[in-house]
Structure 1
Amino acid sequence: MDGEAGGGAGGGAGGPAPLAAPLATSLVELKAAAKFYGPRLVFKDVSFAVRPGEIWIVAGENGAGKSTLLRVAAGLSRADAGGVSHGTGPGGIGLLGHETFVYPHLSALENLRFWAKLHERRAAPEDIAAVLARVGLSAAAEERAGRFSRGMAQRLALARVLLLAPELLLLDEPGTGLDARSRAMLEREIAAARERGAGLLWVSHHLGHDLALADKVLFLKRGRAAYCGDASGFAAAEEGLC
């Protein structure tokens, strides 16, 4: 089990302020984007745009290219064809990938201090304490992260992203290792991020549950976007996709 997760959603006390009015209509946009690994096609002709206050779920079978798509959207991997554009400000993208990037010899508190310094952000002690409370790690703030369970490490990784309050959150299976209570915390934070005007691109393997939180769905199959549209219309199309 992951252990107890507490704290309110990001919109409560200690949470980030709402974002200013966006300067662009989309935070990230892909136009006919394609990615290959050598001769192997990962995906092609993928087009979508994530706008402020919008949640996109990315779904598909294993190996469909979902994680690669997030890396392309983050600018960490270059598209081999098509275009990728960003409407975020400097440091406006937060990525939570499969790796937690938690430093095991540092405490939870030290991890967040280091992360803020790495990104040249000033994080007041009360802000760090607040984000640790939101992910239920207040009691473990001084504990070395190397002693954390997988679920605790995942919550610390989430805190790392939340601390910077990015305009665009890219979440690759963020519920990995989380128990039911921690997943409820995650859902509150996702809803709070949308409420403050952030956009989210979220890889999910729990569509039956997570679909209710989404505005849009991108379903990848055999290297193509088999569905790209409103979440409300996905259920009717899903049977023919899987």
Structure 2
Amino acid sequence: MNLTATPPNPGKFLPSEPILVVQDLTKRYGWKPALAGVSFVVYPRECFVVFGPNGAGKTTLLRILAGLTRPSRGTISWFGHTFATGASAIRAQLGVVMHRTMLDPELTVEENLDYYAKLYGVPNRRERICRVAAELDLDDRLRDRVRQLSRGLQQRAALARALLHEPQVLLLDEPDTGLDRASRERLIGLITRHCAKGGTVLMTTHAQELGTRLATRAIFLDRGRIAWSASSPEEIERHLQPTTFGQVLV
């Protein structure tokens, strides 16, 4: 798999132009719809949050956006390209963290990161691995086997993997899973810095506190459909505060 193809140029996109356009996205597993008619856009430099309870379709959505699963219907455009016409170029710009860490449990953290650094053609691999490990406080864990790590440490290692090639976009599925308070604050800082440097984050969560601290805009998925969308942090809080994920406020 070649992940070093010439990427689309994110720099040509002005803040007013979306880097991601999702239209009428539908995914069915047999008779059951996991997603139904989902449409939204994401702009540069923002943290776009997909809220929703377990089983709402959040993970399915991220898998489709990452090119890991094909939709049953609908279109996705990254930087003006589709996966049909520019899959390698798109993936080179995405850093993805799903529920599964995509790390080999029998290898050390450093061996895993080195493997992915080679895969993405990262220059000065050792230097980059050390920098990312330091950012996530994994310096003293690089020689530990992944299977020996706690769930929270494995999640931090997965975040390090996603950051290695300095992607334009981070796709994060419940990124705070297993993280303690200090690690969660480190994650918030990481996401904030990524957006401040011109990057974009699209993340799913059912943690209202985390989502409201980070989100510039948001949607709420319920049984595969968008129950509401919000275009400002204030609007997000208005939607979320009076309710729980068991009671969707439209």
Q: Could you say which TM-score interval applies, normalised by the shorter chain?
A: 0.7 to 0.9
- 1:195-223 deviations in whole A, cap 9, x for unaligned? 11111111112113431211011101132
User: Alignment length, in residue pairs?
Assistant: 224
Match of 1:9 in 2: none
Whether 1:57 and 2:59 are equivalent positions in the alignment is no
Deviation of 1:149 (Å)? 1.4
SS in 2 for 1:146: helix
1:31-42 equivalences in 2 (<5 Å): 31-42=23-34
Match of 2:128 in 1: 127
Letter in 2 for 1:213: L
Deviation of 1:79 (Å)? 1.8
Alignment RMSD: 1.9
Any conservation in 2 of the 1:128–1:163 contact (CA below 8 Å)? yes
- 1:95-133 deviations in whole A, cap 9, x for unaligned? 100001222222221111101112233243221111101
1:1-242 equivalences in 2 (<5 Å): 21-23=11-13, 25-87=17-79, 89-90=89-90, 91-230=92-231, 231-238=233-240, 239=243, 241=248
Distance in 2, matches of 1:50 and 1:123, equals 32
Match of 2:85 in 1: none
Runs of 4+ aligned structure 1 residues displaced above 4 Å come to none
Structure 1: gaps of 5 or more residues:
1-18
State the TM-score, normalizing by the size of structure 2.
0.83
Deviation of 1:189 (Å)? 0.6
Letter in 2 for 1:241: V
Deviation of 1:159 (Å)? 0.3
Any conservation in 1 of the 2:51–2:211 contact (CA below 8 Å)? no
Any conservation in 2 of the 1:113–1:123 contact (CA below 8 Å)? no
Any conservation in 2 of the 1:173–1:204 contact (CA below 8 Å)? yes
Distance in 2, matches of 1:20 and 1:123, equals 23
Distance in 2, matches of 1:179 and 1:40, equals 35
- 1:144-197 deviations in whole A, cap 9, x for unaligned? 222111111111111001111111111001111111111111111111111111
Structure 2: gaps of 5 or more residues:
1-8, 82-88
Distance in 1, matches of 2:112 and 2:68, equals 22
Distance in 1, matches of 2:148 and 2:66, equals 30
Q: Whose RCO is larger (CA < 8 A, sep 6+)?
A: 1
